[in-house]
Amino acid sequence: MLGTWVPSGVLASLAGLIGGCILAAAQTVADAPGVTVTLDGSTVLHRTGVIYPLALRQRGVQGTVLVEVTLDAKGNVSDARVLSGPAELRRTSLESVLSWHFTEDAANSSRQVGLRFELPGEAKRAERGSDFKPALVVLPPAPAGPLGRRIQMIEVRGISNDARNALLARLPAREGEVLSQELAEATVQAVKDFDEHLRVGFAGAPNGESAIEIALAGYRSDPSPSLPSVVNRIRIGSSLLQKKLKSAQPPEYPALARQARVEGEVKLNAVVGKDGSVQNLSVVSGDPLLIPAAIEAVKHWTYEPTAINGSPTDVESEVDVNFALPPP
């Protein structure tokens, strides 16, 4: 049951919208110091930065790894194999390219990618992973959350400027508008329709307004000084969160799912606020016929607040909602 659920019709192609104008050279990609990537004339919609493992740099390992990638019908890398290069650098090379997304004109084909690892002239600090989380489904109202506030800014990270402009043109949300639950959900859907690899976050800004951050999944960067932190919480195990459950109205079994004899588990990622209420939810997995009912139920659940050193804190964990029908 593990995996990421994507609704039918969500996987929309970027190529038809922006064609081949998003060149790899136009991207702002944070490769590790000493790393150079060559695409041999191919074009990527986006890619993650290539990591140069510290242990290998300290040992003086360097060289060029040539990788052949196999692309699926949408240009995503579905498989990869190393053609040549130092054995120590092959694993990090494969892990990097497996998350890349090429333009659709390269779909259903193979491409060669070169990753050059060269010891940098000076040591630099390792990049810090972003704490950005998946798209939010349930949002708290002001003053605790962003709903009911005007949108101060919409920030997009991890994709090229051309892709950013194309995405912003399609978003229903605009700076200056008041962020409602409906507008937030429509924005999440528009981002997923544009590219399923992007994630959306919402935050209430200190000046009484709200902010939207859109970023490539796994994108690494220093947080923007102008954008309020989307996430300020700790993660706990699902069993611990279950023990803190105070009230839980069971979900209503959807009539269509009942008629179709659909059963199973819906797994949600939940953020529980300092007061024990569910602040936001995102879908991890589950049958599309069962997911709306699970979200509608869980967003009303309440938990015992969690405290760290005596201070209440937001927590994040997974919640499982099981749907089972009686025997026919």
The reported pLDDT for the residue numbered 15 is: 29
* 114 has pLDDT over 70: yes
Tell me the pLDDT of the chain averaged across its residues.
77
- Residues 215, 293 within the same domain: no
240 has pLDDT over 50: yes
Q: Are residues 176 and 256 in the same domain?
A: no
Q: Which residues contact 275 (CB under 8 A, 6 or more apart)?
A: 305, 312
The model's pLDDT over 144-179, given as tens digits with 9 standing for 90+, comes to: 567 888 888 888 887 888 888 899 999 999 999 998
- The per-residue pLDDT for 144 is 59
pLDDT of 25 over the 80 cut: no
The pLDDT of residue 123 is 39
Instruction: Please name the residues in contact with 147: beta carbons below 8 A apart, sequence gap of 6 or more.
Output: 139, 140, 141, 179, 180, 181, 184, 210
Domain end position, chosen among 199, 231, 263:
231
> Which residues have CB under 8 Å from 157's CB, separation 6+?
213, 214, 215, 216, 219, 221, 224
42 shares its domain with 90: yes
**Segments in the chain forming alpha helices (H):** 15-18, 54-58, 87-97, 161-170, 181-194, 238-243, 255-259, 291-298
pTM as predicted: 0.42
Least confident interval from 139-143, 227-231, 233-237: 227-231
In this predicted structure, what is the pLDDT of residue 246? 92
Residue 166 belongs to domain spanning: 151-231
Counting Cβ atoms within 10 Å, is residue 43 exposed (0-12), middle (13-18) or buried (19+)? buried
Domain count, the chain: 3
Neighbours of 113 (CB within 10 A): 25
Say if 281 falls within a structural domain: yes
Confidence of residue 237 (pLDDT cuts 50, 70, 90): confident
Strand ranges (DSSP E) for 131-227?
151-157, 198-204, 210-216
Are 263 and 239 in a shared domain?
A: yes
